Amino acid sequence: MLEHVFPLTGAGIVGLGFFGFVIQTHPLRQLLAVNVVGSGIFLILGGLGRGNGVTDPFPQALVITGIVVAVALTAFGAALIARIAEDRAEEPDQAVRQEPAPKAPRIGPQP
């Protein structure tokens, strides 16, 4: 049972990450929840790569590669979230700066 501690813990972390992704509505919190899911998957892969006195290097290589990709995609996702937040912040300012539409000429008898 002790040899399955890392994969079981990873499965629990994956479950918590999915729960956080579904419950949270803010994009940054959802990005963090996806990172938690990724960490759980890395823990599962690392735990399954261990054997009786022998460690398989293939899952370790996958985990290291996955960590690099996760860091890059997290930075990209954070940049997208920041860009969306900037665009949303600029929208009300543009509506205030617009001049009111000119009044249409009145048709019919003038008062």
Each residue's pLDDT tens digit, 39-59: 999 999 988 887 777 788 888
Q: Which CATH number fits domain 2-93: 1.10.287.3510, 1.10.760.10, 1.10.1610.10, 1.10.150.20?
A: 1.10.287.3510
Residue 93 clears pLDDT 60, i.e. is over it: no
Could you give the C-alpha distances from 88 to 33, 82, 83, in angstroms and in order? 23, 10, 9
Domain boundaries, the chain: 2-93
pLDDT tier at 35, thresholds 50, 70, 90: very high
Report the 10 Å Cβ neighbour count for 13: 19
Statement: the pTM of the whole predicted model exceeds 0.75: no
- Average predicted confidence (pLDDT) for the chain: 86
Angle between helices 5-23 and 27-48 (to 10 degrees): 170
Residue range 78-91, pLDDT digits in tens: 999 999 998 888 77
